[in-house]
Amino acid sequence: MTGVVYDDNFITHKCLWDENYSENPQRYISVLDRCNSLGLINRCIKISSRQATKEELLSKHTVEHIDLLESTEHYNDEKLEKFSSRYDSIYVHNSTYRQSLLAAGSSIELVKAVVDGRIQNGMAFVRPPGHHAMESEYSGYCFINNVAIATQYLLDKTAIQKILIVDWDIHHGQATQQMFYEDPRVLYFSIHRYEHGQFWPNLRESDFDHVGNGSGTGFNVNVPLNDTGMKNEDYMAIIHYLLIPLATEFSPDLIIVSSGYDSAIGDPKGEMLVTPACYAHITQKLMSLSCGRVVAILEGGYYLKSLAESAALTLRALLGDPCPVIGSLKQPCKSVMETIGNVIYAHRHYWDCFKYNIFYKENLPKIQYNFFDEKPEIYQTRNMYPKIDTTDFDIILNNIITETKLFNPKIKVGLISKVIEHSNNNFKNSDIYQYLKSKIRNLHVLKERQLTIEEFNIVYSSEYIKEILNKQKSIDEKKCTIKIINNEYIEDNPMFNTFSFSAGPLLQIIDSIFENEIKSGIFVSSISNLNKNEVSCTLNASIIGANYAIKKYFLKRILIIELNENVTQIYSNDQILVISMHSLLNNSKAINENNHINISWSKKILNEAEFTTIVQHLILPIAYEYNPELIIVSSTFYSNINNYINGIQMTPIMCGYLIQWLSTLANGRLILYEQDAHDNSIHRNKCLLQCSKALLGEPISQLSVANMLNFESKDILFNNIKIHRNNWKSLQL
């Protein structure tokens, strides 16, 4: 359930003496119009707007600050402009005080609705924005700090104890930083244009070395961007290498986003090249944390077309719709990687994910601050924003919007289970189905089917199956000769019949996905009457499924994640990329080719923190560069004492996180193929539950990874990156 708060009174706040002022009512109108045109608002729960009380405002602002703004309600135009000239980049209207109260109060109501359980997440379309409004100073179009007041309300009035604020507005939210600089309950993470102090607000405190103070040391994270033209790959590098590892370790109870869109492509202030769909990816990555409790509160954004599209795709992500494809992400720029290294250095003593990070360098980073202008006593109020010709960017953005496919089938997950030993049983009577049904809603069961010999021959020849049948002694050796072997003998054979049920349903899921019936699928295959290693090593259903999708739906890139033991087959197909993982202590052989990435380690078990690090630093960067059209995750959730899967500590929660992280790719077209499972253990059921919830967009429990990394963890990651660096630009850092 997603909530939204808005109020048409927000259009009354405007500049009376400069019609070209960039912060204007059309910003609000354009966002609502685009959200309505996509049918998003009607899918949300409407949260009532209200004005903040004076008590709520005083939690972060002085009484003089509030009273002075209130006094402007009766000023004439001349007095309003004179008042505005005393502050940096603001204008005041007679309605500004009331609209600021409305923006702050509405933000409180939205976060309160999340904590009360009325909604899972939400978005506030409010103005004036707030993250530059300091305790006793108006600044940067802001008067009351909406995000800070909503945050403080939660800390004071609810059981929420840890809040992550992510500020992706192009300007540093210096006021929000100041208000929580000594508070360890709030982790403030800001990505902003800085240019060594030459970009507004031109503050030394916006640099990476300002990490908090007192008990809040380490809880203020600035990611200053020192070049313009940053692209999706630069922002996603920040997300994968800094934000998600840090946020996972912090484990917030709730996340608030200061969602300014002046970092989007075409914005005259930001001068960046981030596409609207990128915000959807960041949003859904945040939704994997804090049990899905994420609130986005509108800040900046001044190119109306990119503002509206970016805000709409953020709301769409909160609603759980699949992330649009953002194309192949290449190597992040040198400048952003330097910043990432500087942030890691500054926070190395406070977070394990940075202390044992491959980007940590012992050399002291260079501090560079190049702004030395004196603050004026009187600020300019007119002709600050000459009208800009947006024709070129209009064409570019229209093309981006047209090419962005908003794929969203009504059914999010299709489920098939086949227990070969009991092939006539109804899946709805099975223990697995009954367990999942008791925990989640909207289970959609697909009709199973067998693999045909023609589909089998897409990958395997009849001669190959003959050899297997001979080895397994499944048919009379006298019948199994080259001269007389035919499809009838193969199809009637028990071994092939078993395998056809372990692959056919996978093809059914693929058909359902690409016929837009479902977004994703889960296939639970239990082959309990054959030795699992013999079958798994001999025939690979994932490869058959991938080739089937290539042939029938003309796919060009399919990613297979193999978490099973004994994956020995390598297929020379440029349209399929296989990533497999295993411990070298399990007598496994590391096989690496252009289309097969083997991630290995020389310790017995990878813990959850180590696996998370490998996913964020290696698997996801490669996956985003590869840009798959379909993902197949092949795993086995068999039960053991320590919940190990092929040398990885895979708790049910970890399984859910892996699926959630991968599902932002490929328009959400992901298939979980749980094969060769032999038991109905509680562990297996819980793994399937968490994966189902991840694909359904339902919140999963929080992952705990604190105090689990060491220098061996760092070496494992570094060695694997070194092996594959030459083949992937995203790893050439």
DSSP state of 188: E
Distance in angstroms (rounded) separating the CA atoms of residues 118 and 46: 11
Cα distance between residue 334 and residue 226, in whole Å: 10
Q: 517-555 in b/e burial notation, b at 16+ Cβ within 10 A?
A: bbbbbbbbbbbeebebeebbebbbbbbbbbbbbbeeeeb
Q: Quick one: pLDDT at residue 231? A: 98
131 is a catalytic site residue: no
Distance CA 187, CA 350 (A): 12
Q: Beta-carbon neighbour count of residue 573 at 10 Å? A: 15
Q: What is the pLDDT of residue 492?
A: 57
> Residue 708: what pLDDT?
83
**Which amino acid does the sequence have at 178?**
Q
Q: Are 200 and 131 in contact (CB under 8 A)?
A: no
Fold of 411-448+509-704: Arginase; Chain A (3.40.800)
pLDDT in tens, 317-329: 999 999 999 999 9
* Same topology between domain 2-371+384-403 and domain 411-448+509-704: yes
pLDDT single digits (tens) 115-143: 999 999 999 999 999 999 999 999 999 99
Domain 2-371+384-403 has CATH 3.40.800.20: yes
**Is the N-terminal amide bond of 184 cis, ω within 30° of 0?**
no
Residue 359: both structure tokens together: 């980007």
Give the pLDDT of residue 555.
Answer: 97
For strands 644-645 and 648-649, give the pairing: antiparallel
pLDDT given at position 475 = 45
Query: Per-residue pLDDT tens for 425-456?
Result: 556 666 777 888 888 877 888 988 888 878 87
Name every residue whose Cβ is closer than 8 Å to that of residue 688 and which is 6 or more positions away in sequence.
Answer: 432, 436, 522, 524, 637, 674
Annotated domain spans of the chain? 2-371+384-403, 411-448+509-704
Contact 180/91 with Cβ under 8 angstroms?
Answer: no
- How much is the pLDDT for 82? 97
Cβ atoms < 10 Å from Cβ of 58: 14
Q: What is the DSSP string of 394-419?
A: HHHHHHHHHH------SEEEEEEEEE
- Write the pLDDT tens digit of every residue in 489-503: 445 556 666 777 778
Length in residues, the chain: 733
Helix (H) or strand (E) holding 600, with range, is strand 596-601
Cα gap 86→336, rounded to integer Å = 36
Q: Mean pLDDT for each 10-residue chunk of the chain (733 residues)?
A: 98 96 97 98 98 98 98 97 97 98 99 98 98 98 99 98 99 99 99 98 98 98 98 98 97 98 97 98 96 98 98 98 96 97 97 92 90 92 86 94 91 79 54 83 84 80 66 48 45 64 87 96 69 50 92 96 68 85 67 80 88 96 98 82 74 94 97 74 87 93 85 93 92 87
Nearest Cα neighbor of 475 from 463, 467, 419, 423 is 467
> Which candidate in 13, 61, 132, 617 is catalytic?
132
Summarised one tens digit per residue, pLDDT across range 161-217 is: 999 999 999 999 999 999 999 999 999 999 999 999 999 999 999 999 999 999 999
pTM of the model: 0.93
Residue 129, CA distances (Å) to 10, 27, 447, 646 in order: 11, 11, 51, 49
Across the chain, which distance is largest between two alpha carbons, in Å?
A: 103
DSSP string, 236-269: HHHIIIIIHHHHHHH--SEEEEEE--TTBTT-TT
**Phi and psi (nearest 5°) for 692?**
-65, -45
Residue pointed to by tokens 């800390």:
155
